[in-house]
Amino acid sequence: MSDGPVTLVPAAIDAALPIEELVDRDLLDELCQSLFALFGIPIRLFSTGGSTYGVVAHEHEFCTFVNTSKDGRTQCRATVDAVKANSPPSAVVHPCFTGLAYHIEPVEYEARVYGRVVIGPFAPAALRELTAEGRTALAVLDGDKSAALLAKVPRAKPETVARVAAHLRTALDIILFNAHKTAVTSSTHLMSVRENFRELTEKNEKLQAAYNQLKEADRLKSSFLATVSHELKTPLTSILGYSEMLSEGIAGPLAEEQAEFVRTIHEKGTHLLAMITGLLDLSKLEIGTMRMRRENARIADILRDVCSTLVPHAKKKGVELAFDCKEEAFAVRVDPVRLQQVFTNIVENAVKFTEAGGSVRITDRIVEEEDGTDDEIGFAIMASKTSYVEIRVADTGVGIPETERDRVFDAFYQVDSSSTREHGGTGLGLAIAKRVVLAHGGSIAIEGNTPRGTVFVVRIPSAETVRASIPTVSLFEESSPLFDETASGSDRR
């Protein structure tokens, strides 16, 4: 529409949007109203489809008078239809049979036609009376009245109409520029969002596929470990059995050196069996085939059995193993064998990582926590409380760095994983312990022990709190019961 091409915004939309979708209709109506107020000439804006999207449809008294005659009405309708149908490539003036005129020109932006503008009808400045065709069509009407009403029609020189059209062009250029810019920005943003969504969807699908593959690989790994562990455990049990029989002299007396060899075989076999059992337990926990047999038990009895088993090892290393039991029995509903396995792992780790002259202390107590997190007073008063038996295993050993305290519960993870590490183990003990504790509805955490060492805090939901008198028994006078073959605790950190 403008004299020079508008190139501020490149054409980013392949197909031109209808002007109705680019520009607000009320805005165009206001534009037409302002021009009509200045020049008094009706203005109409049509889309490429022929619909009106901006109009000041003011009908002159002369046109109303013309339509009172049948011939005038017919001619007038034909003229209006011709004007509506006229889509010129450039500005033209379309005459009316009465001598009035319409100025028509296309609405263009960046070489695209969005519609056309019709200015008129208006009376050309040189018009003084009806044309011959007009006089014929309006012969039945009052000629003086026709002449009087014709004189009231706004007259416009060609330069005036050109000025109105130029003003309209400029305004439409600005409006369409901003509308097109907004449309391009929105379209670009939408395409960017769609592309990002497509990429995100594609990445999510790849991640999901990778996750499914890893999950299947992990399942196969756990199944493989369970199978291999079971197959290794069977012949290893036979080796341990035969080594015991040899040690007992069933096959005849052994020389001192032979007896030492047999004891070594039995000791290393027992250690290997513990590691294999740990793998088997971990596999069962991961694939969900381990079954917990819950029963009522006293936590003090479980801890006392653990301490009795590990006292000889602690004495041999020069570490004090202290068990501070309350004068009351805390009842829990657990699988005693599995819970004993948990505390054996934790306490044996504590002894292993505590230097000679250090100590490992085991304490228990009841703690209560309110269910829910509501801070309102009413909810706090009505909130139920859950009691837990809290067992703390505190050592004065090397300690665990705070950054490593969560990772030590990962299977096979060790703080010192170098080939020259001082302490052995597979890194399964704490992984199994955490899974068993969680299976009981409890929690396990690690705290620092000032000035040095580690504190393992295990919480198990209590079945009930039972007050009972526990006789004081010297820990070192108790017999050491045979420990069920479970995962060894020699594989922490």
State pLDDT tens for residues 412-434.
Answer: 766 554 433 455 556 678 888 88
In this prediction, residue 328 carries a pLDDT of 61
- Ranked by mean pLDDT, which of 16-30, 197-211, 338-352 comes out on top? 197-211
In this structure, what token pair is assigned to residue 213? 């593959």
| Mean of pLDDT values over 161-177 | 82
Handedness of CA 52, 56, 60, 64 (dihedral sign): positive
Q: Does 251 reside within a domain?
A: no
For the stretch 229-276, pLDDT in tens is 777 778 888 888 888 888 888 878 888 888 888 888 888 888 787 777
What backbone phi and psi angles, to 5 degrees, belong to 447? -125, 160
Contact between 385 and 369 (Cβ < 8 Å): yes
Q: Does 435 reside within a domain?
A: yes
For 353-443, where are the alpha helices, taking DSSP H only?
A: 377-382, 429-439
55 pLDDT tier (thresholds 50, 70, 90):
low
Are residue 337 and residue 462 in the same domain, yes or no? Answer: yes
Per the listing, tokens 């990962």 go with 410
Domain extent for 104: 19-193
Q: Does 227 reside within a domain?
A: no
For the stretch 108-146, pLDDT in tens is 877 778 788 888 888 898 888 888 888 888 887 888 888
* Cα separation, 328 vs 332, whole angstroms: 13
Are residue 186 and residue 298 in the same domain, yes or no? Answer: no
Of the candidates 38, 331, 326, 295, the residue with the CA atom closest to the CA atom of residue 165: 38
Q: How many domains does the chain have?
A: 2
SS3 493: coil
What DSSP character marks residue 18? P
In this prediction, residue 371 carries a pLDDT of 59
Q: Give percent of the chain with pLDDT exceeding 90.
A: 10
Tell which of 136, 166, 193 closes a domain: 193
Are residue 301 and residue 186 in the same domain, yes or no? Answer: no
91 pLDDT tier (thresholds 50, 70, 90):
confident
In this structure, what token pair is assigned to residue 299? 């936590």
Is the pTM higher than 0.85? The answer reads no
Contact between 460 and 302 (Cβ < 8 Å): no
Q: Does 168 reside within a domain?
A: yes
Of the candidates 138, 147, 136, the residue with the CA atom closest to the CA atom of residue 73: 138
Contact between 332 and 462 (Cβ < 8 Å): yes
Q: Does 337 reside within a domain?
A: yes
In this structure, what token pair is assigned to residue 277? 């059992």
Are residue 322 and residue 440 in the same domain, yes or no? Answer: yes
Cis omega (within 30 of 0) for bond into 121? yes
Contact between 314 and 362 (Cβ < 8 Å): no
Are residue 303 and residue 184 in the same domain, yes or no? Answer: no
Are residue 189 and residue 305 in the same domain, yes or no? Answer: no
Q: Does 228 reside within a domain?
A: no
Beta partners for residue 101, in sequence order: 95, 122
Q: 461: which residues sit within 8 A by CB, 6+ positions away?
A: 332, 386, 387, 388, 389, 440, 441, 442
The CATH number that applies at residue 144 is: 3.30.450
Tell which of 166, 193, 220 closes a domain: 193
How far is the first Cα of the chain from the last one, in angstroms, to the nearest whole number?
A: 79
Q: Calculate the dihedral angle through the C-alpha atoms of 184, 187, 190, 191, rounding to the nearest 10 degrees.
A: -100
| Mean of pLDDT values over 428-456 | 85
Q: How many CA atoms lie within 13 A of 112 on its CB side?
A: 20
Are residue 466 and residue 319 in the same domain, yes or no? Answer: yes
Tell which of 171, 193, 215 closes a domain: 193
For the stretch 172-231, pLDDT in tens is 888 878 877 787 788 888 899 999 999 999 999 999 999 999 888 877 777 777 777 777
* Cα separation, 4 vs 107, whole angstroms: 14
Q: Does 178 reside within a domain?
A: yes
Q: Give percent of the chain with pLDDT exceeding 70.
A: 81
Q: Does 224 reside within a domain?
A: no
Within a 10 A sphere around the Cβ of 45, how many other Cβ atoms? 25
In this prediction, residue 359 carries a pLDDT of 92
In this prediction, residue 196 carries a pLDDT of 93
Q: For the range 435-442, what are the long-range contacts, defined as Cβ-Cβ under 8 Å and sequence gap of 24 or more? A: 435/282, 435/285, 436/285, 436/292, 436/335, 436/338, 436/339, 436/341, 436/342, 437/342, 439/285, 439/290, 439/292, 439/338, 440/292, 440/334, 440/335, 440/339, 442/388
Q: What is the mean pLDDT of the chain?
A: 77
* Cα separation, 287 vs 292, whole angstroms: 14
Are residue 439 and residue 299 in the same domain, yes or no? Answer: yes
The CATH number that applies at residue 310 is: 3.30.565.10
What DSSP character marks residue 318? T
Are residue 323 and residue 185 in the same domain, yes or no? Answer: no
* Cα separation, 288 vs 387, whole angstroms: 27
* Cα separation, 276 vs 409, whole angstroms: 18
